[in-house]
Amino acid sequence: MATDTPPATGSGPPAGMTTAHVRQAGIALPPAADFITSTWLQHESRAAVVGLSEARSDLLRRTLDPELDGDKMFVLVTDERSILTPVMHAALRSSGAAWVVREDAGTLRDGFTGRGATRIADLIASRSAGPAGPSSYPTDTPTRRPDADPPTPSDGAIPGEAIPGDDVAPDKGWDDNAAGLHTASRPAPTDTDTDTDTDTDTRSPIFLRQIPDDVPDHARAHLLRAAAFPQARQLHVSLSVHHHPRATTALGGTTQTILEHVLGTHPTSWGTREPALAPWDPAALTEYAREHIANGPRLVVVGENAVGTITARRTPDGIEETTRLWLNAGPPGTEANARLARVTDALALVSRQAIIGSGLALTHTGRADLNIPPLLEPPPTPLALAIGASTLETAGINVDDAATRFGGLRAGSRHLPALVIPLGTPERPDHARLTEILRELGPATRPLQKHH
């Protein structure tokens, strides 16, 4: 069994304190925390599906709050049989947290990168030595950890996680308040989407979807069942929209438009945590965001074959709503591709309804339930890029000229034009076009380059 005996360094409780140790020492351990050291706060779960529950969300917030446990990393520990919801996966990535998987053999691996280790402390040290690298899913830029990227200004680029405590004075109405497994003799395909350390010798063979010869029979059976789980073409959309801080401002429009236009469905529920059980009600969702705007609320939205998040934060000139959606477009094939092709028009439609910042649509093949296993996922491919007026203006780009050169669609309004550019198909993604566009746009879309 893997053990952790990190050195007692820094302030805080002695290293390696379990719940029992903390009680004996008379130290208050945060609810739902199972282990605490001077450098990380650990939560363990053996749930089949690990979502962003209230307890886990509170622990994440503690590690992002300098007045609580802001000097510690949140570490989620699961076993091989647990999978994460997209919302939980994104929350961990955006906050700079760690996902540690206990393998059946007693060894550990990083759930994001597959890097193996015998101690959690070693995995955390390896993460501190360098970034974990891009995920298979659109991810926010970490903004609250000391070693993370600085907060992204409201310059038209997709923002990072909402920043609690933004003290910009609001106007009235917005006050404070097909994934197969591989045997050892049949190696996994080359990966370019996980850790910046591309030496596969440092990564668990199970993460690489290989089955070592010495894997116990029960573990082998589980891995084979995981490989046989139904697959689907997933669509991932990340889009920021600017609102004027008026009493009539409503959130949730981006979610409704994309689900209706791409899948022909509607949002069904929302909530502040998972599971999101409140019936879909944009007015109630907006009112909650308005009352909690100072804390940068993250709301969960659910629809048929869809899940997502909406975050809201104040900016110097209004409210920024960032929508992130994960959609099941159906089994790989013609019908799924037809749904994916609608995303370009959906982004253009949103740009006519609101003032967009920037957005990116990606696709990859994954589990039909949209959840993320602790295994290597196929890298995403770009489908469409949306660029708002402020980003175009900052880069000095004429929207009509760019539309002609890049084969894009002029969208938005007459006074605030936007540009939506298709980036190929799932089978023939146009990475070169995306790279060329991002290079021309420059620093204004730096966060978008992290998705590519």
Is 345 part of a structural domain of the chain?
A: yes
Look at residue 166 and tell me if it is in a domain: no
**204 and 86 co-located in one domain:** no
Same domain, residue pair 213 and 199: yes
Could you tell me if 103 and 78 lie in one domain? yes
pLDDT for position 152? 31
Number of domains in the chain: 3
Q: What is the pLDDT of residue 3?
A: 41
Question: Are 47 and 64 part of one and the same domain?
Answer: yes
Same domain, 197 and 68: no
Distance CA 385, CA 10 (A): 45
Look at residue 306 and tell me if it is in a domain.
yes
Q: Which long-range contacts (CB under 8 A, 24 or more apart) does 293-296 make?
A: 293/170, 293/174, 293/175, 293/176, 293/177, 293/319, 294/164, 294/165, 294/166, 294/176, 294/177, 295/164, 295/165, 296/161, 296/162, 296/163, 296/164, 296/166
In a domain, 9, yes or no: no
Residue 170 forms part of a structural domain: no
Amino acid, single-letter form, for residue 213: D
Look at residue 24 and tell me if it is in a domain: yes
DSSP state of 424: B
Q: Do 49 and 189 lie in a common domain?
A: no
392 and 255 within one domain:
yes
Residues 38 and 186 in one domain: no
Last-in-domain residue among 193, 227, 261: 227
Q: Could you tell me the end-to-end alpha-carbon distance of the chain, in angstroms, rounded to an integer?
A: 38
Predicted TM-score (pTM) of this structure: 0.81
Q: What is the pLDDT of residues 307-320, one digit of tens each?
A: 999 999 999 999 99
Of the candidates 319, 6, 274, 312, the one whose C-alpha atom is nearest the C-alpha of residue 171 is 319
Residue 126 pLDDT: 81
Same domain, 311 and 445: yes
Q: Which residues of the chain have pLDDT under 50?
A: 1-15, 24-26, 131-198, 447, 449-452
Looking at the structure, do residues 241 and 287 belong to the same domain, yes or no?
yes
Q: Verify that 287 and 365 share a domain, yes or no.
A: yes
Helices 334-341, 343-353: axis angle to 10 degrees equals 20
Which residue, 210, 227, 244, sits at the end of a domain?
227
Domain end marker among 173, 192, 227: 227
146 burial via Cβ count (<10 Å: 0-12, 13-18, 19+):
exposed
Write out the residue range of the structural domain in which residue 207 sits.
Answer: 182-227
8 within a domain of the structure (yes/no): no
- Residue 146 belongs to a domain: no
Residues 291 and 219 in one domain: no
What are the pLDDT digits (tens) for 364-398?
999 999 999 999 999 999 999 999 999 999 899 99
pLDDT at 2: 42
